[in-house]
Amino acid sequence: MLEAGHGAILFTGASASVKGYAESAAFAMGKFALRGLAQSMARELAPKGIHVAHFVIDGGIRSAARPVPPDAPDSLLDPEAIAETYLHVLHQPRSAWTWEVELRPWVERF
């Protein structure tokens, strides 16, 4: 990427990237550290044409093992929607790079 002068590094975090939870200190430390790494790398590599972004996946992801509850159809993140968001960020023009994205289902309790 450095030789080419362009590229992207996309980090995937979790809710714990931005908020700690009881009995999850070790996980939160790791996710906070990942976010800090992404921020540092973004500042270091952006001038060299490399886009670094951090994604906060703040919620459960729908899968065969975790189907959508019938009474809450949009309560889990759709993997295809997540992938589309990654692709959108990957193809952004350098004049409008996203540095961090938070994805959550609309039913998330704040």
Domain residue ranges in the chain: 7-103
Could you please report the per-residue DSSP string of the chain? -TTTT-EEEEEEEEGGGT---TT-HHHHHHHHHHHHHHHHHHHHHGGGTEEEEEEEE-S-B--SSSPPPTT-TTSSB-HHHHHHHHHHHHT--GGG--SEEEE--TT---
CATH H-level, domain 7-103: superfamily: NAD(P)-binding Rossmann-like Domain (3.40.50.720)
- Could you tell me the pLDDT band of residue 108, with boundaries at 50, 70 and 90? low
- Strand 7-14 to 50-57 pairing: parallel
pLDDT digits (tens, 9 = 90+) for 78-102: 999 999 999 999 999 999 999 999 9
Q: What is the pLDDT of residue 31?
A: 97
Q: Mean pLDDT over residues 52-81, rounded? A: 92
pLDDT digits (tens, 9 = 90+) for 13-57: 999 999 999 999 999 999 999 999 999 999 999 999 999 999 999
Tokens of 62: 């729908």
Name residue 8's beta-bridge partners: 51
Q: Mean pLDDT over residues 105-109, rounded? A: 74
Task: Give the list of residues 6+ apart from residue 31 with CB closer than 8 angstroms, or none.
Answer: 13, 14, 16, 17
For residue 110, pLDDT beyond 80: no
Q: What is the pLDDT of residue 109?
A: 60
